Chain A
């Protein structure tokens, strides 16, 4: 597979409160994410996985190092990269449909055209009947569907997801995981999926990158060579889960 996203020697430090010294968060990360891959990043809370995602999204600058997408540096608000937030970040004054179409709206797609495109997503994402509902009245799972649709409608090559299902109850979490896999298998965009749940990382990912405690280095990268659709109780899956838990316990 073609190389898609290349992270070289990514280091990030933050200024410490009330002092001139810098606190390291990410320490010299190197990693290659292949095109169309479902790439999970798992690590303890506070390990800097969200920071890493924000750097790839162009929301923050790395202190050192470089990120290339198909050989070109990522810019601030890069069109080729989309981000799905854990807290949904829907615009509360826009209906579900208006939220989904905003990416096309700001890029000057005519109204009739973007409406039609957004309605395709409404149908595919099971949001019929809620087109004109404001986010406040939607369930958590529906909000996240709207947020994913809003990101996908602009066809980004890389979709970054920051613990997107972290605030959902376990039933809708499982539904959303399977829903996301369907969407991904149809489109085969690159997904970089950050989570603190080892189960989720292993079940979803082609590859799982394990980050250690702060300042984070890559502890290990696993290839999950289990065919899809996967059984959550697959022994190979459970074994890999145990290995990652063991790795985290040693850290």
Chain B
């Protein structure tokens, strides 16, 4: 029964509606679900600031994520394969990973603004940093975890290094690469919203939008914006899960 899964959230929403209407929780602290729905409608139709509609905010955010994320994928996966495959590359790259990975992506914001100015480039750079390390590390771990027997099998079948990389290491590490991509896009999305809070903004963006809602004291629009950010993240992850399913039929 698929419908049954909806019962707990529906009950929670009903309780939420009750405590906000007759339970004495003031709506400037916690607006009711219906008010949040109204906020969502205002964001979509009126815009915040007026004229800056929700879908435009979302498009700007998605564009930043797409740019930073595709950069992270196109650098992270090949580099991860190289790190997993070659001890020499690992020796050179690993210290830099160890050094840079613990720095939270948000701590890069000041230097990113210095380097790229305020705008899409610095936002994409911060998202790149958030998504890059999980993609890189999961890819290299996936390559290292490929059964050495399969590499030997390829060698005895007269496989050359190119065949070992493209026919053994890459297909063998696909599950782990996709895991990295999923973690990466999640972190990229989280990083984006925070980055849009702190100056990497252009008048558009979902993070910027909910900060504006706070500035003008519209908690219904704050919550509506948060809800939208959550749903968008869920949809992005869902599409990667579909990709995972279609690529990994053999498990």
Which A-B residue pairs are the 7 nearest by beta carbons? A89-B153, A83-B156, A134-B250, A106-B163, A93-B250, A93-B171, A77-B155
A91 at the interface (CB under 8 A from B): yes
- Residue positions of B touching A, CB distance < 8 A: 147, 149-150, 152-160, 163, 167-168, 171-172, 174, 248-251
A76 at the interface (CB under 8 A from B): yes
The answer to whether B250 touches A92 (Cβ under 8 A) is: yes
A23 at the interface (CB under 8 A from B): no
The answer to whether B167 touches A106 (Cβ under 8 A) is: yes
- Residue positions of A touching B, CB distance < 8 A: 57-59, 76-79, 81-83, 85, 87, 89-94, 102-103, 105-107, 134-136, 150-151, 154
Given contacts A89-B152, A102-B167, A106-B167, contact A150 B251 (CB under 8 A): no
The answer to whether B249 touches A82 (Cβ under 8 A) is: no
Dominant SS among interface residues on chain A: loop
The answer to whether B159 touches A93 (Cβ under 8 A) is: no
The answer to whether B150 touches A82 (Cβ under 8 A) is: no
Dominant SS among interface residues on chain B: helix
Give the residues in chain A near B251, CB-CB below 8 Å.
92, 136
The answer to whether A82 touches B250 (Cβ under 8 A) is: no
Please pick, from A82, A87, A134, A135, the residue contacting B156 in the complex, using a CB distance under 8 A.
Answer: A82
Please pick, from B158, B168, B249, B250, the residue contacting A107 in the complex, using a CB distance under 8 A.
Answer: B158
The answer to whether A154 touches B157 (Cβ under 8 A) is: yes
Given contacts A106-B160, A136-B250, A136-B251, contact A93 B172 (CB under 8 A): yes
The answer to whether B171 touches A77 (Cβ under 8 A) is: no
Given contacts A76-B155, A136-B250, A136-B251, contact A91 B168 (CB under 8 A): yes
Give the residues in chain A near B159, CB-CB below 8 Å.
77, 106
Minimum CB–CB distance from A74 to chain B (whole Å) comes to 12
The answer to whether A57 touches B168 (Cβ under 8 A) is: no
Give the residues in chain A near B154, CB-CB below 8 Å.
106
The answer to whether A77 touches B156 (Cβ under 8 A) is: yes
Complex Cα distance, B160 from A82, in Å, reads 15
Closest to B155 in A: A77
Known: A77-B159, A91-B150. 4 other contacts (CB 8 A): A77-B156, A82-B156, A87-B149, A154-B157
